[in-house]
Structure 1
């Protein structure tokens, strides 16, 4: 009962803090994250331990919901249009930023290259919690649809985390093995990245074919929603429990939603509507729990060197985004928007920042401090930037394909 009551209060506080943020012309998620920080362990410590222990599960449910909605917003025609730049967006910005931070860490923090790369690839991941809801909002408002820009960023960001987390795990493994006098194959770790992406797409396709066969026999649309949502959650649960590096469940969930949107057109709109209803409540807990995981007090004496390093690394990340968009039909304004949208960090950094310290990596406390600083700087910067610039830098155009699809619901 204490957990249930605390969740109810957290939901109410997050809702009103989001409304206050909107009154101040800020994204609602900023208000939700701030209230999470205030009531969480870092400051007032008002949240029961039991609630904190299940917060990871609740965040996963919310992330699965919003990524599934994201997949439902991508058409087959758009995938053909955004394929190459989406792939490059998943690889180039994160890789470039991660290695830049690695070299900066050697210069300004006295780290070895391996230590710097561990920090670099904690920071390098874009935040799905911030970027994906913002892109779904743009899809709903038909902003950037003429060139499928939100869809391109959705796909790129979902695979971006695979790159960053795999490289973080790889360099952490190299460090720990070196401490034991053992060796680890970096090549085999890097090969796992394309395998993971391919495996995620294959898993999504197979689960779609199985569920499609079953759901065509079901007349009740509510049952269809329950089934596809459970399948999506199962993918996330499988990755979390097996700890496999060969499945990116968040990418798989999005691809699963994509298959439903394009090959179960008669049910897609109803499923989308009900998932949107779930997301209305899920976002309250996603952003408030993300806020609770942020501890600004850890930043301490590393704030200035951290800000300097982040300024340089984000500049290189922005160059990486522009390189990934080379050869596309995006104009300068649209490219600038993509740079802004790829700035925010939150989810991965909150989850991974304490791992080096826990694993006994030298300088782990510095890594945690700078990773948390990256969230404090880029999450509001990216979220506010997306909100303020989307209507100014992107075109508003009806997605005729989606409208045609949804007429049959």
Structure 2
């Protein structure tokens, strides 16, 4: 395991640095590292690491979402209003609809199979989007209209919405029915996650207002609480709807609201943790990619992914209607709300594991979405934000 960790960090950081010098996203180098070191190419990663890959990726996601919460001022989010709410579900719905329209014709699959495929592809990647939006906030781009904050918040809720939809469609494919209660779970899980995070964040702030310890200790405690919140979601799965990741982010927002000076210091510590977590996250995402699936899919699968992405961008555009954003700012929102990676890596193989006939093609399209849209989205954000957004 130690050799695998060393290779992941050394090769991942090296390729990331090389891609940065080539004016390409560093995450592309990290994903390629995972592909090369993973079980489908050189097979240099220890099976013990691959066995806990999902947990390690989740830990990295928790770190960056906590960092986002600590930096997100809720007052900025309130300024956005209606578009922030619409961004949580409208673009994903448009992408699923696009997949239903396009995939049966190009891939010769049923409408239900296309719906499952759409629910896998529709989620954006907080792991790609959150660091990019934090960078924009630090540099002051788009903050006058709270654009980074809106995309940050939307990306987190978007995943909750899409995963519930995916679970519903999977049940339907296995002979079950979609119950209205299933859709009630979406707002309930969002509300309970946010409330739990706010309460814990307030308690955390009050406790450390009275008890003075080093910031490093606060980070360890805060990180442990975040892990427990996500673990609680697993325990409550099927019993009570609860979003652990939203609770994590809300906890950070509550601390930022109550004790902004502590939140600022903790955010700096989390930024340092992200240096290692980012490498591990994208290397392990790359390790899940079987390049043979991508090659076997052909040009039709690429067209399906890009076609559905156009529908997603249309959904984002509709969310931006009747706002005071300029056309350039609306275009940036459409670009920035597209990257895929973590959710596709997490759920892309489930239909195949469950024995569905569409399993192989769903996994193939999920792999291609990671390979194409994650780096393309990150690259597009980096190349356009200075031109499309105004600086504070």
Structure 2-normalised TM-score? 0.95
Task: Report the Cα offset of residue 106 of structure 1.
Answer: 2.9
Per-residue CA deviation, residues 192-238 of structure 1 (Å, 9 max, x unaligned), is 11111111111112212332332222211322222222111211222
Q: Contact between 2:56 and 2:280, CA under 8 Å: does it hold in 1?
A: yes
Gaps of 5+ in 1: 398-409
Count of residues in Structure 1 that have an aligned counterpart in Structure 2: 390
Structure 1 segment 43-54 matched on structure 2, within 5 A: 43-54=41-52
User: Is the 2:87–2:158 contact (alpha carbons within 8 Å) kept by the matching residues of 1?
Assistant: yes
Q: Which has the larger displacement, 98-107 or 240-249?
A: 240-249
CA RMSD of aligned residues (A): 1.6
- 1:18 matched to which residue of 2? 16
| Structure 2: 5+ residue stretches without partners | none
1:71 is matched with 69
> Cα distance 1:232–1:83, how it changes in 2: closer, same or farther (>3 A)?
farther
Structure 1 position 251 matched with structure 2 position 246: yes
The equivalent position to 2:141 in structure 1, one of 143, 148, 156, is: 143
The DSSP-based 3-state class of the residue aligned with 2:143 is coil
SS at match of 1:299: helix
Instruction: Give per-residue Cα distances to partners, 1:5-60, cap 9 Å, x unaligned.
Output: 32123112111111111110111111111111111112111101011112222211
Q: Which residue of 1 aligns with 2:196?
A: 203
Instruction: State the Cα distance separating 1:242 from its structure 2 match.
Output: 4.1
1:311 to partner: Cα distance: 2.4
**Secondary structure of the equivalent of 1:259?**
helix
SS, match of residue 212 in structure 2: coil
Q: 1:350 maps to what in 2?
A: 345
Within the candidate set 202, 210, 218, 1:224 is matched to 218
Instruction: Report how far residue 107 of structure 1 moved.
Output: 2.7
Distance 1:384 1:12 in 2: 23
Contact 2:202 2:255 in 1 (8 A): no
1:154-199 deviations in Å (ceiling 9; x for gaps): 00000111111111110100111x2xxxx42332211111111111
Q: Is the 2:233–2:242 contact (alpha carbons within 8 Å) kept by the matching residues of 1?
A: yes
TM-score (norm 1): 0.92
1:241 Cα deviation after fit: 4.6
In structure 1, C-alpha distance between the alignment counterparts of 2:273 and 2:359, rounded to whole Å = 38
Query: Is the CA contact 1:34–1:288 (under 8 Å) kept in the aligned structure 2?
Result: yes
Among 157, 160, 163, which residue is 2:161 paired with?
A: 163
Helix, strand or coil for the counterpart of 2:160? helix
3-state SS, counterpart of residue 340 of structure 2: coil
Q: 2:354 aligns with which of 352, 355, 359?
A: 359
Contact 1:296 1:376 in 2 (8 A): no
Q: C-alpha separation between the residues in 2 aligned to 1:218 and 1:12? A: 39
